[in-house]
Each structure stands twice: as C-alpha cells, then as structure tokens.
C-alpha cells in the first residue's frame, strides 16, 4: 500500500465489515500517496504485536516522544497478557491510552489516561465497556493509527512529542460520548485527580505503581481540550456517578462527556507532563495550539522519515520492512519529558531546568546498553548526546537506586564511556565519572572487593567486572591514575568465579568454597544467575574477550565450545545475556562461523529451546524475525528496542560486542548496500557505505574485506573509521 500505511495483515481470518473504498479515499485525501518510496513507508507497526511475540503496539508516537497513543484491547490490556496494552489477536477495544513502554516484561507499564468513544448507554465495567473493532479497517504508519469500531465510530490518532491528538467520526444519530478514564492501567493506579474547568478544559493527574510488583510509583499529569465542547458531563468515583464533577480524586475516577447529536468530528488533544497539570496545559498551547489534524499527522511522518532516512539500504522489500521497523522501534524510548519551559522533574522529585538539552527519562539499560545505544551512536548521535546529558542529570539530581540492583547491574557507565570515546564529550564528564564510580562501588562494595567476587552470584560478579572496566577506562581518559589502577584490578575479578576444572563460571560462598554446580548447566533455574543458564552466562566477559579465550585454553578450545553452544541449540536469542555470543568467533580467528550463525538468525528458520525463564515445552523452529504480527519467537519481548536494534545492527553487517570499546565486529549484511548519512555527526554530505560484492550460496562467507581500498586483517572496524566517511567493501 502506498505511503507507508499498514493495513492489518492476513495473519488470521477477520470478517470484512466495511468496504475498503472509503479508506482508500481517506488515505489519498490525506496526502500519503506520494510517500511510497520513503524509508518510513517500510515501517509496519503491526509487526510483533500479537500474543507474546514482542509485546509491541501499533499506535502513534514520534521519535523518543513522551506520548504513546495506542489502542488498549480486551482482554489483553486487562489481564496483563498484553504488556503494551494491545494484542493483535484481541477483537475487542477498551479505548486509547497515552502512556506505555514497548516490549516490556511482567505486566508492562502504562495504559493511563484512557479515552473511549461510545454510542448510547455508558457502562464502566470492562466487559461492557469493550466494543468490537473492525480489523479490516485497522491501519497504521509512523505517527498515525486508525480503526473503525462496531458502533460506527471512525478513530484516528496522531501526536506530537507531548500531545496526543484524537479525531473521532461518529456515523448515525445515536448519542456521542467520550469516556476519560483515569482508573485504568497495566499496573495498579493508586491515586488520581481530575478537574473540569468552566471553559471545558480537563486537568488531571495519575499515580500508578511500577512494573514487576514494585511498590514505588510514577506520576503523569495531563490537560485535555475538546472541539466541539461537550454539552453534558458527568463523573464517576469508584463506579458511582457524580453529577457535578468539577473536581474528583481517588484511584478510580473519570468523566463521561456527551457531545451534541450529529455526524461531525470530535477532536481531542491530551497533553502529558511529568511536572503538573498546569504545565501540561501550557505545553499543549505551545506545542499544539491549533486543531489541524492532517498537518500534525504529516509533521509526525516527516519527523520519522528524516530520522529513518539517515540509513539507506538496498535489498528485498521484506528485509527493508524488518530493517526500518526495527530502526523505528529502536527510537521510541527513552521519553522526552522536557516541558516547553525547558524544565523537567528529576529523580529527586524536584523540578529542574535542562541546561541546553532535552531531558529524557524512562530507561531499561540492562537490556538496551548492549544494542540500542551502539546503534544510536551511528544513526542518531544528536539524540544520544542529549540522552547522555540526561543520564548525568540523574546522577546530579540525586537519583534513586536503579531498579533491580539486587539481581542485576544497569551498566549506565557503559553508555557514558562509549559516547565519550566516540567523540560525544560535551557533557559534565566529572559528574558522569563520579556517578559511574559510585554505581560500581555500590555493586561491588568494600566487603566484596576484599573477596574479589560477589558471593553466590557469578553473573553479578561478571557484570560488576564489566562496570569496573568502564570506570577504569574513563579514569584513564581523565588522568585519574589511582582509580584507573584500582578499577582495572577489579575488572579482572571475573577470573575469580571461573572454575577451571569445569571451564564454567560458578558460584562461590563468602568463605571461598565452590557452591554446587547445576546438574544440568543448560537449564535456566535462576538460582545463581539471572534470566539465563550457566551456558548462556559463560560468554559474558565483554571487556576482555582475549582473557576469556585464555581461560578456555586458547582459540581452538574456545571455538570448539562456542560451536557446541550453537550446534546444540543452547543459545537463547529471546533474552539478553548471550546476545553477543554469535560475534565471539571473530575474536578467535573463525569469523566465517560468526557470519554463518548471524546470517541464519537474520534470515532462516533456527531452533530455539528457551523462553525467558526456562525451556519451551517443545523447541521452536522458525525464523526469529518475521514481518508478521507474530514477528518474534514466543516470549521474546523487544525490551525497549533491544532486540530490534540487534537486528538492525546485524543486518547492516556490524555489531559492537563491548560498548565502551568503540569497535564493531563485521559480519555478512543482509543488504547489497548500506549507506549511512553522517550529517548528524557534523559531516555534511558525507556517507559511509557498506557494499556486498559477488555472490554466495548456502554459506555467506566473506572472502575479503577492504576499508577504503585497504584489506582488513581482522573482521572489525573502529567507530572513527565509520563516522569519518568512506567505504567498506565485502567480497564474496
């Protein structure tokens, strides 16, 4: 379909409830038909939205925007099965909420400030509130979503960074209602407030719990305006109707707004703020003062297309769909939470002013440091610069403890070090360094530093060693020699949990004794390691792969064990701990094996035995990435862009094993040609090209690699060579 609009694919049978002619006309009138060759036209927001195959959503957002305006379907959004509120397989619609995180575990997070169009009688119970959506009418593109409901309501959604923009077309003469529900969310709502002002504007705030059973909360404020103004409004609190709803408070409050009979459009603008409802209203008037829905939709498309156009690829359309969808998903978070005044709410709960940058919030760094931030350093260094400054804001503002520090490390320092070594140095490096250092000392405090490991946790020992290496490298760059020496020594502590008799990392108690090794090291039992097996954590020495190879007894032994890992299907692409493992063959003199394994993962059916927390009942044999609603293998959450970024990097033929060490491993790209435009790096008009020459059969082996005409002795390339412009030719 032209212009990038993605109709719901023929993934399963759907009833055709409305002729397509109306939507074709609507599509052409919206000015989309001329955009069919734009990179954004290859994005398919429905990929990886079905069941537990990615946990993504098809709704409207802009790059790194705070608003994620998307449908919440029933029962997925209520039961927690749909972590982002949308399950492609659901046929019922609750409404459209403004906050969510893509590809998240547990029950997800968000689903707040839900707007639900309704005709006739209003019932607040989910089973009664849900109405059929007509799947044949459902379409989406970057920055836009549309569907029609069985109640003859046409829904269109678009947005700016902080404002969700709704357009509802009601057919027929039944009463027209919009419900504004603050009591719904993917995690429990603990408090809410809503105020109806005399001019018809609505202000409010929601407080809800974070995911995975945590007791701490997040808060989001909003302001909403309607055109035309409603003719009647009533409220509710705990399912009790309130006829004078000027101000309501509590965990289950909302408004029902009735509009005059007729068939005209109802427009709604909902602005979000992390500061206050009043700030949300101000931001609404600054960021989106008008009511031109089509113009906002076009602006969202342009913003996405400009970002996605920084990379050009030549190849099959199906591969382009996966590639640009992956790049799109990699650029949706963290969220721009900066107000129109340049202020933001810090982790200390206070309002601060961002000093010359956009402040971004909401991170999942344990996942994303591996793939997304190396990708952003290539295609979006301007965004990455402000993300780095935002991480420094968190250190400066007096951050809360990173979540999950008791079971894993967040690796913020890796992002800071990597950016610094790649030339993004215009941030408060001193504050960044002190934050990195304090993180490392919290993860491996003095009592464990004396031991040289973290008792009972070989995985956290490995992670701490990596973080310590990041601190040591930054200390060296800043001339802090004593810290560099101390943390370099700590970076070698990974050796202290290596059992040479088993050639595995193994748990030890505080007295130095080895603890029982699992009878089946292929199983994920999570007694001593997080979300992985002993086999999968066996490779996590990102900062010292040569040292890891020596522990195995040298390259030959290392390659033999790594081949066993893949030959016996012990690799788990559905989770993060071993995502880098396919590229480790490069370090041991067997790059053809990296090329073979990675190309299979990208393009062919492979066998996967693992879900997130254990074996599948039956192994899954299929492609891991597919351009369908069940786009990922089961239980493979996207984790905030982590998995898609792996695909994008690998499909280009590049992968950074160690963020902080600015070197990319080379593998066989999916595309005949990849062109990186380097304008965002201050290299106006310059490009870096990756070109495949020759053909290959069953085995995608690179015969020779040349960088700017010079033959490479190793299948790796430094970041500086890429952003300086030039050409990498891969001969087959």
Query: Where does residue 648 rank: exposed (0-12), middle (13-18), buried (19+ CB within 10 A)?
Result: buried
pLDDT of residue 177 exceeding 90? yes
Helix, strand or coil, per DSSP, at residue 470: helix
pLDDT on residue 598: 98
> For the residues 676-701, what does the mean pLDDT come to?
95
Rounded to whole angstroms, how far apart are CA atoms 204 and 270?
A: 11
Contacts of 535 (CB under 8 A, 6+ apart): 504, 521, 522, 565, 570
Which of 405, 29, 28 minimizes the C-alpha distance to 214? 405
Packing angle, helices 642-652 and 591-603, rounded to 10 = 120
pLDDT digits (tens, 9 = 90+) for 645-671: 999 999 999 999 999 999 999 999 999
pLDDT digits (tens, 9 = 90+) for 561-595: 999 999 999 999 999 999 999 999 999 999 999 99
- Looking at domain 363-731, does it have CATH number 3.30.2080.10? yes
pLDDT on residue 195: 97
Rounded to whole angstroms, how far apart are CA atoms 101 and 85?
A: 9
pLDDT digits (tens, 9 = 90+) for 601-625: 999 999 999 999 999 999 999 999 9
Q: What is the pTM of this model?
A: 0.94
> For the residues 670-681, what does the mean pLDDT come to?
97
Measured in degrees and rounded to the nearest 5, phi and psi for residue 295 equal: -70, -40
User: Percent of the chain at pLDDT above 90?
Assistant: 88
Query: Taking CA 43 as the corner, what is the angle to CA 145 and CA 681, rounded to the nearest 5 degrees?
Result: 115
Cβ atoms within 10 Å, residue 683: 15
What are the start-end ranges of the H helices in 502-639?
534-537, 545-552, 555-567, 591-603
Strands of 197-281, DSSP E: 202-209, 217-227, 232-237, 240-242, 247-249, 253-259, 265-273
pLDDT digits (tens, 9 = 90+) for 133-151: 999 999 999 999 999 999 9
pLDDT on residue 124: 65
Cβ atoms within 10 Å, residue 300: 25
pLDDT digits (tens, 9 = 90+) for 711-727: 999 999 999 999 999 99
* Predicted confidence band of residue 37 (pLDDT cuts 50, 70, 90): confident
Q: Are strands 687-693 and 726-731 parallel, antiparallel or unpaired?
A: parallel
Top pLDDT among 2 and 6 is at 6
Rounded to whole angstroms, how far apart are CA atoms 83 and 246?
A: 33
The mean pLDDT of the chain is 93
CB 572 within 8 A of CB 608: yes
In the chain, domain spans: 2-308, 363-731
pLDDT on residue 361: 95
pLDDT on residue 405: 61
CATH of domain 2-308: 2.70.98.10
* Predicted confidence band of residue 129 (pLDDT cuts 50, 70, 90): confident
pLDDT on residue 456: 97
pLDDT on residue 11: 34
């Amino acid at each position: 379909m032209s212009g990038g609009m993605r109709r719901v694919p023929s993934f399963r049978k759907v009833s055709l409830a409305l002729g397509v002619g109306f939507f074709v006309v609507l599509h052409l009138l919206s000015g989309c038909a001329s955009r069919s060759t734009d990179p954004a036209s290859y994005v398919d927001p429905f990929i990886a939205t079905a069941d537990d195959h990615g946990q993504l959503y098809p709704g409207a957002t802009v790059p790194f925007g705070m608003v994620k305006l998307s449908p919440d379907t029933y029962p997925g959004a209520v039961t927690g099965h749909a972590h982002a509120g949308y399950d492609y397989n659901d046929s019922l619609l609750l409404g459209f909420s403004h906050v969510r995180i893509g590809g998240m575990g547990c029950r997800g997070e968000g689903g707040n400030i839900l707007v639900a169009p309704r005709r006739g009688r209003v019932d607040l119970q989910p089973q009664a509130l849900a109405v059929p959506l007509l799947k044949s009418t459902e379409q989406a593109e970057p920055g836009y979503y549309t569907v029609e409901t069985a109640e003859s309501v046409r829904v269109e959604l678009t947005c700016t960074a902080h404002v969700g923009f709704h357009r509802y077309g009601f057919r027929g003469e039944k009463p027209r209602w919009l419900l504004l529900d603050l009591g719904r969310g993917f995690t429990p709502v603990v408090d809410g407030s809503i105020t109806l002002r005399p001019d018809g504007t609505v202000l409010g705030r929601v407080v809800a719990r974070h995911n995975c059973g945590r007791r701490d909360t997040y808060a989001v404020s909003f302001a909403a305006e309607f055109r035309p103004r409603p003719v009647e409004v009533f409220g509710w609190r705990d399912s009790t109707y309130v006829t004078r709803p000027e101000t309501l408070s509590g965990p289950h409050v909302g408004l029902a707004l009735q509009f005059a009979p007729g068939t005209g459009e109802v427009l709604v603008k909902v602005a979000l703020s992390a500061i206050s409802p009043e700030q949300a209203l101000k931001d609404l008037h600054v960021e989106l003062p008008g009511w031109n829905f089509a113009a906002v939709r076009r602006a969202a498309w342009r913003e996405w297309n400009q970002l996605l156009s920084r990379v050009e690829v030549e190849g099959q359309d199906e591969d382009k769909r996966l590639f640009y969808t992956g790049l799109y998903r990699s650029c949706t978070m963290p969220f721009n939470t900066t107000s129109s005044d340049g202020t933001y709410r810090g982790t200390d709960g206070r309002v601060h002013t961002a000093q010359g940058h956009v402040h971004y919030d909401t991170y999942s760094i344990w996942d994303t440091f591996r793939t997304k931030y190396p990708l952003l350093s290539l295609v979006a260094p301007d965004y990455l610069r402000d993300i780095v400054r935002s991480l420094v804001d968190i250190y400066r503002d007096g951050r809360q403890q990173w979540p999950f520090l008791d079971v894993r490390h967040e690796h913020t320092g890796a992002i800071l070090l990597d950016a610094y070594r790649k030339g993004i140095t215009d941030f408060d490096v001193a504050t960044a360094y002190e934050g990195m250092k304090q993180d490392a000392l919290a993860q491996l405090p003095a009592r464990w530093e004396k031991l040289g490991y973290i008792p009972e946790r070989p995985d956290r020992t490995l992670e701490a060693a990596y973080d310590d290496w990041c601190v040591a490298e930054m200390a060296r760059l800043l001339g802090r020699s004593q810290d560099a020496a101390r943390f370099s020594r700590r970076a070698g502590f990974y050796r202290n949990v290596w059992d040479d008799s088993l050639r595995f990392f193994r748990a030890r108690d505080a007295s130095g004794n080895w603890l029982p090794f699992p009878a089946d090291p292929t199983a994920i039992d999570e007694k001593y390691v997080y979300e992985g097996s002993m086999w999968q954590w066996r490779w996590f020495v990102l900062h010292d792969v040569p040292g890891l190879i020596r522990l195995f007894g040298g390259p030959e032994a290392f390659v033999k064990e790594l081949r066993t890992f893949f030959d016996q299907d012990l690799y788990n692409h559905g989770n993060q701990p071993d995502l880098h493992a396919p590229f480790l063959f490069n370090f041991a003199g067997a790059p053809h094996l990296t090329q073979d394994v990675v190309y299979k993962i990208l393009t062919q059916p492979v066998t996967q035995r693992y879900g997130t927390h254990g074996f599948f009942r039956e192994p899954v044999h299929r492609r891991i990435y597919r351009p369908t609603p069940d786009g990922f293998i089961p239980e493979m959450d996207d984790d905030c862009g982590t998995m898609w970024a792996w695909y994008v990097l690998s499909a280009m033929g590049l992968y950074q094993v160690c963020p902080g060490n600015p070197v990319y491993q080379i593998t066989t790209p999916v595309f005949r040609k990849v062109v990186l435009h380097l304008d965002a790096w201050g290299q106006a008009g310059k490009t870096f090209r990756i070109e495949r020459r020759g053909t290959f059969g069953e085995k995608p082996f690179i015969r020779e690699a040349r960088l700017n005409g010079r033959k490479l002795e190793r299948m790796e390339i430094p970041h500086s060579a890429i952003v300086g412009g030039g050409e990498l030719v891969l001969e087959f």
